[in-house]
Amino acid sequence: MATKTLFEQLREEVEIEPGRSPFFYRRAFRRMTQKYLTQPNRFIREERLDAKDPEDQRDKNLIRRYPKQGHLFMFEYSSVKENVSVFDPFPLVYCIKFNGLDFDGCNLHFIHPLKRRIVVENLQRDKLTLPYNSISKYNMSQIKGLLLDVAIDEWITASTLPIEDFVSIKEGKPQSISVAEVWKKNNRGFRNMLRGARIYKGYGTNDSDFKG
């Protein structure tokens, strides 16, 4: 029996329409994503099973061992610091630059959903409008497992999934933080952006699904 990833289930249940508010999709997706809130790495596990299905029964997302510039990734991330004011253990990151040991990326989860959609649509048009307060450096040694490379046609869907789960870490112990408070704080610096053209680097296979 073919494996159905969340992205495939969403396409069957909800028709993505231009101009819809992100909150429309957040409500529609919330019921389907409940099982992922406590198991966010389930995305990765399902995509690994999906890769074994016949090609015409798979979605376009692929599992990667390392990131490349111009791609959007979901992955599980750990912190080596004892104290962190805001931490996202399962980020959705647009890769800006990769040097082999770490990479700079924009975590879309830090951006309010209404403005996040604008940022993603600009990326799909090869335009960078990335708030600096959503950009971080990610160490490859802190990634737990593999990365899910999200096909460009799925970027809106991935960015609308209500799976943000921010925590603060104090003396090594995580504590939940209000998502609304994080968005409210980061919204103040939204206009301070990294701007420019999207630079894309491919893996050599199925590049059209990720380049756009």
Position 211 in a domain:
no
Position 55 in a domain:
no
What pLDDT is attached to residue 124? 97
pLDDT in tens, the chain (212 residues): 456 666 766 666 555 555 555 445 445 545 555 666 566 677 677 767 766 666 655 667 787 889 999 999 988 899 999 999 999 988 999 999 999 999 999 999 999 999 999 999 999 999 999 999 999 999 999 998 888 889 998 899 889 887 788 999 999 899 999 999 999 999 999 999 999 999 999 998 768 889 98
Position 35 in a domain:
no
Position 33 in a domain:
no
Query: pTM score, two decimals?
Result: 0.80
Residue 162's domain comprises 60-201
How many of the other CB atoms lie within 10 Å of CB of 66?
14
Position 52 in a domain:
no
Q: Tell me, what amino acid is at 151? A: A
Q: What separation in angstroms does the CA of 190 have from each of 25, 28, 112, 159?
A: 23, 27, 10, 17
Do the strands 127-131 and 193-197 form a parallel or antiparallel pair, or are they unpaired? antiparallel
Identify the H or E element spanning 11: helix 6-13
What pLDDT is attached to residue 184? 95
Position 34 in a domain:
no
Position 44 in a domain:
no
By residue count, the chain amounts to: 212
- Tokens found for residue 72: 């959007």
pLDDT tens for 13-60 read 555 555 555 445 445 545 555 666 566 677 677 767 766 666 655 667
Domain count, the chain: 1
In sequence order, the 6+-apart residues with CB closer than 8 A to the CB of 134 are 106, 107, 108, 110, 111, 186
Position 36 in a domain:
no
What pLDDT is attached to residue 1? 45
